[in-house]
Amino acid sequence: MSPVATAPVRAQVALRAERELRPALPTPTTRHASFEPAAVFAVAYAVYAGIGLYSTLALHIVLGDAESRFAHAYFVFWNAPAKLTAIGFYWPPLQTLVLLPFAAIRPLATSLAALPLVSGLFAAGLLVVLDRTLTLARLARGSRLALLAAFGLNPMILYFAVNGMAEVVYLFFLAFGFHLFVRWVLTPRWFDLPFAGIAFALGSLSRYEVAFWLPLVVAGAAWVMVQRRESLARIEASLVALIVPTLYAFILWVFVNWTVAGDPTAFLAVAHRPNLPAQGSLADVFLLQAGLFPLLVPLVVLLVVDVARRRSPVSFTIAAALVVNAATTGAFLLYAREQAPLLIRYNFRAVPLALIAIAWLLARFPRRRRRIGAIAATVGVALCIPATAETMLRTHNQLGESAFLHGLFTDRSQDGKPGPKGPGLSIADQTDMAQYIRRHVRGRNAILADDSQAFGVMLRDGDPRRYLDRIDFGDRKWLLVRDHPRNHVRYFLVERGATRSRDPVFYDRILDAYPSLARGPTPAFLRLAHENATYALYQIRRTDL
Amino acid sequence: MGSRDETFYRQLAERAGLDYVRLEAGAVDAEAAQLFPAELARRFDAIAVRVEHDALTVAAATVEAEQLAAVVHGVTGRKAHIVVTTPERIIAAQEQVFGSPPVLRTDRFLPAAQAPPAETAFLRRLAASRGLEFTELSALERECDVEAARLIPERLSRRLRVLGLGVDGDELRLTTAYPLDERALTVVESVTGYTPHQIIAPSSRIHAGLDRAFAGAGRRQPLGPPPTNGGRAYEAGRRLGELLIAARALSPASLRHALAVQRRTGDRIGRVLVSLGYISQERLAATLAEQLRVTHAHAYEVRPKGAVASALPESVCRAHLFVPLDIVDGVLVVAMADPVSSDAATALRTSTALPTRVLVATESSVRAALEQLFADRYVDLATVELVRRRPEESAHRVLPPAQKLFFLVLLAAVGIGLAIAAVPTLIALTLLSILFYFAGAAYKLALVSHGVRKPAEVPVSANELALLEDRSLPTYTILVPLYHEAELAAQIVEAIDALDYPKTKLDVKLLVEEDDAATIAAVRRARLGSHCHVVVVPDSQPRTKPKACNYGLLHARGEYVVIFDAEDAPEPDQLRKAVIAFRKAPPEVVCVQAKLNYWNRNQNLLTRWFTAEYSQWFDLFLPGLSATRAPIPLGGTSCHFVTEKLLELGAWDPFNVTEDADVGIRLARAGYTTVMIDSTTYEEANSRVYNWIRQRSRWIKGYMQTWLVHMRHPLQLWDELGPAGFSSFQLVVGGTALTVLLNPIYWGLTSAWALTEAGVIRHLFPGPIYFAAAFNLLFGNFAFTYLNAAGAYRRGYYDLVKYSLFSPLYWALMSVAAWKGLLQLVTRPSYWEKTVHGLAEASR
């Protein structure tokens, strides 16, 4: 038996001393009206949703990735059998998971209206986060809102907010994580760092590369605590709180890949596959990023100066965060020989952090200069708008950015506008085929389709049960049916241009078995039922001719 | 007739050169009348009318003013101005002021006290030096003639400390504690008519003789503050401190110190002196008796007769600390602990029609006497009061008939469902479980989020603490239930002594069970201050902590009450913070919950987990409940209550093994609120797995009991708590028990599915149910693990953060405890699984 505890009272003395070191209850350092975040959100969401619905429904500006992701979210609920694994392992899971609530609402989903509504949510949330960060800098409300407006109307931000893609999702979490880090430095809120850890975890599940920013925050937090002479235990605990959520997220995702796909690294295998030959240099990277948001360069310079003068860990962290995007793009270009990282959307990642950098720098200004600084920053951010627009229109490595601007400027549908790999997505063709199928095809699993290509038709149709796709029973059974379709399915649905030669990863696997369906003669056992520029529906004859 | 008397007495007065007054009703100043005691006033047919400057005007029906003036002067110390009035007017005034005349006397007396040897030797020498006789008065029955003793009125006898032994011719043999001066001798002669012959004797023997002579004398002694303004107690030389110094029981320096403390705390000087240890309770009682000229009863003399139990209402006795001892010839003999209290005097006067005789005794002896008289009633109150008043809120029955029927019907429905359509039934049950899990998790996360963004503790600043004056502090009752905790007795006493609260305002009850001899002995060995009282709870079922606390609560005199366990070490300023919190809070706040944590947190992995869990519960979760005004299942200790409100609620349920959680819900149902303060009580975390399981099984069993009790009338509960409170109750109290019961089932299913991918398991989790279950498993478990880590981080226990990440293993232990608790709920619902303490090592 252990000795009886001898000193609860003595322990009390020690505990009292400990208590003095215990983090104090948080005290807010800035005052803000409680309605402001809600108002910023409401206004931003209204604007983004409005523009987004217009661009999606009227201008038909829909990206294939966005539609594919959303379709697979839709299949989670409406497929037969309903499966969570319909989200697939190609993209990080959160990109699709955030779409689920809207995918459950059929009219929103099939009309594609859900796309801008989802991305608008996160874009509005991003503005709220940046507004809160600017509040930490004790800026007047007018200055804050002007800065926010200038940023929120940046064409790339606008594009992310309306296109239903996942960029704005991870940008939200990335910005939130950095906001919490800066707030933790400026105010004694103990919970900011653990929440930042969760933000980074969610960001990593939205885009794996967000994890690249986490070590910067970890290093910055450690440096701050060393400067504050915190105990080793506290430093350790704080870093654990930062890192563990992201670590757990990755372990969880690996486990899911292992149990479902049979390969724990399946997500890595598909995430980075070469799709275009590498063309470009580091200078191209710099010009691209500087062209997209010119203010990045002076901000980095100012932060580096602050690091040199005041040895500020936060300035170091934010400066490094602004540079990480360029660094990773350059690394992929040089060492992985990949072209994809030069896409515009992959080089805009650090831009929301620019506003956090502005907030941090302004917070360090004396009060009088802060107002001038805010005005200068607002002008700078506003001047980035035409720069960004120009880059969107001119840059070759893009995914619909110029079509978006053209559509807005000309009020004309951009349906089917060519993309970097050839003909662009055609909503009209999807709708046409879907309508035909709804009118003429009945029954469950009547149509064999490769969901990775036919997702648009399946979504527009609204009834995935009509299709025997790769989600239903897995690839093995699907391939068997593909090779021996009679008595299993009545139709084939193919995307004619999706051949393996066009894209070795994204191709229609029915065309793999029946290459003549792409542009050649129709096999004897099939009869062409309906076609348009993108899709063809073949009926399987009951007997051979 | 009256007018002829008046004419006669007017003429009498004129002849004697005295003034005549027509003494009207109401003309007598009652305070002045008290200066000349009733027995003397009746003896001389006189009454003191008023005080004029330093003279006392006495109305008499006699013209022998000289003798009367001498007696008046001797008794009151004032010059007498005699005026004449008729006897009828005298009698009428006496009756108006003094009440009915006294009843007959008897020979019964109280046991004698023995004089200490030192006093005897001193008195012998004194007598020898004055040429007086000395007697030890060891045989009062033989030596003292009661009639002779009664020649001098009792009050005068006690004041002068004289006892008549017998009459010898025209001499009265008179024992006295000190040689009387001429004036006193004159008084005695005037009163008795005999020439006093002094004999020195010990004062204790003289008092014993007086007790013997005047036992059952049956007068209503005016009680409360000294009889008049500037009465005896406040006369120079008569104040408590002065008497103690005169008796060499106290030094002037000690008195000065005590007075300084008194000025700061506002307490009575007697209580201060005892709390500082300068005098004993017995000495205080004896000195009070001397001051007020009443009898002191020693502890062994305070032995009430069973027959007098109904002579005074028990609740009044308990509230004002007096106990009936005996009825002697129609006179109720009462021992009082606080004879100076006018409330007590009034209560006594209004509680009985019998004339009373008051003895001064110590508080502990009065309490012991009350225990002796009323133990059965106290046990009854402690055990069944809640059952009597609110049977539907007591866990004395696990399932009342209606509830039993409901569960039987539910079980039958599930059984029929399983028989007819097993898979859909199981799917439905799974769905319900998953929804409950999800709702519980979401709610708890929302609460924590709310609590961290907006601290819910009542803020108490260092400035407020500094400005809180001791004299404004109320009396605080601390209940410390002890059972088989002999080794911790000294520890808790030390912890309470360390509290920063005036000891004179603490009312500590160490509650020990009658059959726990070891703990009783340990407690009695401990150096207890005067603020600590040992309360022995009679052996009765159920033997539970709440029953013991109810028993102790009956004797609480504090405005607030708190429970501390034996192993507790509260922060020293906790009581002050609670007082400030109560004063700042609105009236519906009747409970202040402090935080609990552990001082041996680093002892082993179990204590680390336990500490992280407690940190999360008290630093994150409960503040969220408090902030949203949800009903709070209180912690087992360090809940501070407004005593009156707690009693109004029926105090604790002795049949509920988590009486704290239960009372938290009951007070919410009654419309009261609990707030939190940022003050911590450190306890000993269970460091042994089996001991931990036993403790946790009791807690979970208690939560089940609490849920069952309050769900007996769900509609009524909904009305009382509101929809939000009702939902919170389900998720927090019900959910806590249900989730740990279900966890092993779903962990088992998950493991079986991962290993076998059995189709039957797949069928139980179709589509959306599978998604929800997966979400609960993957994100819910992580969220709560992270919360445990966050709780440890919040409290500053940074070294525990990494251990918190392995909390799921800890939850497995909780599930083991939960099933044990469920089994015990069926077999032994009110059995108190006693946690063994004292196993810890001090935390590094």
- Taking the Cβ of residue B572 and every Cβ of chain A, the question of whether any pair is shorter than 8 Å is answered with yes
Interchain proximity A12–B457, CB inside 8 Å? no
Q: Which residues contact residue A410 at a Cβ distance below 8 angstroms, ignoring those fewer than 6 apart?
A: none
Q: What number of other Cβ atoms are within 10 A of residue A508's Cβ?
A: 27
Q: What number of other Cβ atoms are within 10 A of residue A95's Cβ?
A: 23
Q: Is B169 left (phi over 0), alpha (psi -120 to 50) or beta?
A: left
- Taking the Cβ of residue B457 and every Cβ of chain A, the question of whether any pair is shorter than 8 Å is answered with yes
pLDDT of residue B52: 83
Torsion of CA A149, A151, A155, A157, to 10 degrees: -110
Torsion of CA B224, B230, B236, B239, to 10 degrees: 20
pLDDT of residue B220: 36
Q: What is the largest CA-CA distance in chain B?
A: 127
Q: Within 13 Å, how many C-alpha atoms sit on residue B480's CB side?
A: 31
Interchain proximity B795–A22, CB inside 8 Å? yes
Burial class (CB in 10 A: 0-12, 13-18, 19+), A85: middle
pLDDT of residue A293: 93
pTM: 0.74
* Spatial distance between the Cα atoms of B522 and B527, rounded to a whole number of angstroms: 10
Q: What one-character DSSP code corresponds to residue B113?
A: P
Q: Angle between the A35-53 and A141-152 helix axes, to the nearest 10 degrees?
A: 20
Q: What one-character DSSP code corresponds to residue B476?
A: E
Average pLDDT of the segment spanning B85-94: 86
Average pLDDT of the segment spanning B436-455: 87
* Spatial distance between the Cα atoms of B794 and B800, rounded to a whole number of angstroms: 11
- Taking the Cβ of residue B770 and every Cβ of chain A, the question of whether any pair is shorter than 8 Å is answered with yes
Residue A295's SS3 state is coil
Q: Which secondary structure element, helix H or strand E, spans residue B199, and what is its range?
A: strand B195-200
| Nearest-CB residue to B455 (from A26, A76, A233) | A26
Q: What number of other Cβ atoms are within 10 A of residue A145's Cβ?
A: 20
Here the tokens at position A196 are: 């930042």
Q: Within 13 Å, how many C-alpha atoms sit on residue B579's CB side?
A: 22
- Closest listed residue to residue A427, CA positions, set A469, A460, A454: A460
* Exposure class string for B459-495: b at 16+ Cβ within 10 A, else e: ebeeeeeeebebeebebbbbbbbbbbbbebbebbbbb
Interchain proximity B569–A21, CB inside 8 Å? no
pLDDT band at A419 (very low <50, low <70, confident <90, very high): low
Tell me the pairing of strands B639-642 and B560-563.
antiparallel
* Spatial distance between the Cα atoms of A151 and A317, rounded to a whole number of angstroms: 22
Q: What number of other Cβ atoms are within 10 A of residue B230's Cβ?
A: 12
Burial class (CB in 10 A: 0-12, 13-18, 19+), A228: exposed
DSSP, residue by residue, A402-466: HHHHHHHHH----TT--BTTBS---HHHHHHHHHHHHHH--STT-EEE-HHHHHHHHHHH--GGG
Q: Which residues contact residue B779 at a Cβ distance below 8 angstroms, ignoring those fewer than 6 apart?
A: none
DSSP, residue by residue, B432-449: HHHHHHHHHHHHHHHHHH
* Spatial distance between the Cα atoms of B455 and B453, rounded to a whole number of angstroms: 6
Chain A partners of B794 at a C-beta cutoff of 8 Å?
A: 23, 190-191
Q: Angle between the A427-440 and A451-461 helix axes, to the nearest 10 degrees?
A: 70
* Spatial distance between the Cα atoms of A147 and A358, rounded to a whole number of angstroms: 10
User: Nearest CA of chain A to the CA of B487: how many Å?
Assistant: 8
Q: What is the pLDDT of residues B761-793, one digit of tens each?
A: 878 887 678 878 888 888 888 889 999 999 999
Stretch among A147-161, A246-260, B219-233 having the lowest mean pLDDT: B219-233
| Nearest-CB residue to A8 (from B487, B682, B802) | B682
* Spatial distance between the Cα atoms of B583 and B677, rounded to a whole number of angstroms: 13
pLDDT of residue A277: 56
List strand residue ranges (DSSP E) for B546-669, in order. Answer: 560-563, 569-570, 589-598, 639-642
Average pLDDT of the segment spanning B246-257: 88
User: Nearest CA of chain A to the CA of B678: how many Å?
Assistant: 9
Q: What one-character DSSP code corresponds to residue B506?
A: E
Which residue type sits at B601? R
* Spatial distance between the Cα atoms of A450 and A509, rounded to a whole number of angstroms: 6
Residue B809's SS3 state is helix
Q: Within 13 Å, how many C-alpha atoms sit on residue B456's CB side?
A: 28
Question: Interface of chain A against chain B, CB under 8 Å?
Answer: 1-12, 14-16, 18-19, 21-23, 25-26, 76-77, 81-84, 190-191, 194, 198, 231, 233-234, 236-238, 240-241, 244-245, 248, 252, 259
pLDDT at B519 over 60: yes
pLDDT of residue B580: 95
- Closest listed residue to residue B844, CA positions, set B604, B498, B680: B604
User: Nearest CA of chain B to the CA of A279: how many Å?
Assistant: 42
pLDDT at A25 over 70: no
Contact B651, B548 (CB under 8 A): no
Average pLDDT of the segment spanning B565-591: 94
* Spatial distance between the Cα atoms of A281 and B673, rounded to a whole number of angstroms: 68
Contact A325, A319 (CB under 8 A): no
The share of chain B scoring above pLDDT 70, in percent, equals 93
Segments in A104-231 forming alpha helices (H)? 106-110, 114-136, 141-152, 155-162, 167-186, 192-206, 214-227
Q: Is B53 left (phi over 0), alpha (psi -120 to 50) or beta?
A: left
Interface with chain B: mutation pick from A1, A6, A9, A255, highest number of B CBs within 10 Å: A9
Interchain proximity A5–B600, CB inside 8 Å? yes
The share of chain B scoring above pLDDT 90, in percent, equals 39
pLDDT at B410 over 90: yes
pLDDT of residue B214: 75
pLDDT at B522 over 50: yes
Average pLDDT of the segment spanning B827-836: 81
Chain A partners of B567 at a C-beta cutoff of 8 Å?
A: 5, 8
Stretch among A12-21, A219-228, B62-71, B488-497 having the lowest mean pLDDT: A12-21
pLDDT of residue B454: 77
Segments in B677-830 forming alpha helices (H)? 689-710, 714-729, 735-756, 759-764, 767-775, 781-795, 801-804, 807-827
Q: What is the mean pLDDT of chain B?
A: 85
Q: Which of residues 491-510 of B touch A (CB under 8 A)?
A: 491, 494-495, 498
pLDDT of residue A388: 94
Stretch among A294-298, A376-380, A471-475 having the lowest mean pLDDT: A471-475
* Spatial distance between the Cα atoms of B123 and B201, rounded to a whole number of angstroms: 7
Q: What is the pLDDT of residues B305-314, one digit of tens each?
A: 877 878 888 8
Interchain proximity A237–B792, CB inside 8 Å? yes
Q: What number of helices (H) and strands (E) belong to chain B?
A: 37, 21
- Taking the Cβ of residue B782 and every Cβ of chain A, the question of whether any pair is shorter than 8 Å is answered with yes
Contact A234, A122 (CB under 8 A): no
pLDDT of residue A31: 45
B570: nearest CA in chain A?
A12
Average pLDDT of the segment spanning A491-508: 86
| Nearest-CB residue to A84 (from B452, B498, B770) | B770
pLDDT at B186 over 90: no
Q: Which secondary structure element, helix H or strand E, spans residue B520, and what is its range?
A: helix B517-525
Residue B546: is the preceding peptide bond cis (ω within 30°)? no
Interchain proximity B789–A8, CB inside 8 Å? no
pLDDT band at B449 (very low <50, low <70, confident <90, very high): confident
pLDDT at B77 over 80: no
* Spatial distance between the Cα atoms of B214 and B196, rounded to a whole number of angstroms: 20
Note whether ipTM > 0.90 here: no
Dihedral pair phi/psi, residue B369, rounded to 5°? -65, -40
pLDDT band at A214 (very low <50, low <70, confident <90, very high): very high
pLDDT band at B224 (very low <50, low <70, confident <90, very high): very low
Q: What is the pLDDT of residues B574-586, one digit of tens each?
A: 999 999 999 999 9
Q: What is the pLDDT of residues B24-65, one digit of tens each?
A: 868 898 888 888 888 788 777 889 998 887 789 999 987 767
pLDDT of residue B108: 32
* Spatial distance between the Cα atoms of B49 and B31, rounded to a whole number of angstroms: 9
pLDDT at A28 over 60: no
- Closest listed residue to residue B444, CA positions, set B591, B628, B597, B609: B628
Q: Which secondary structure element, helix H or strand E, spans residue B171, and what is its range?
A: strand B171-176
Q: Which residues contact residue B681 at a Cβ distance below 8 angstroms, ignoring those fewer than 6 apart?
A: B564, B568, B569, B570, B571, B574, B594, B595, B596, B597, B637, B638
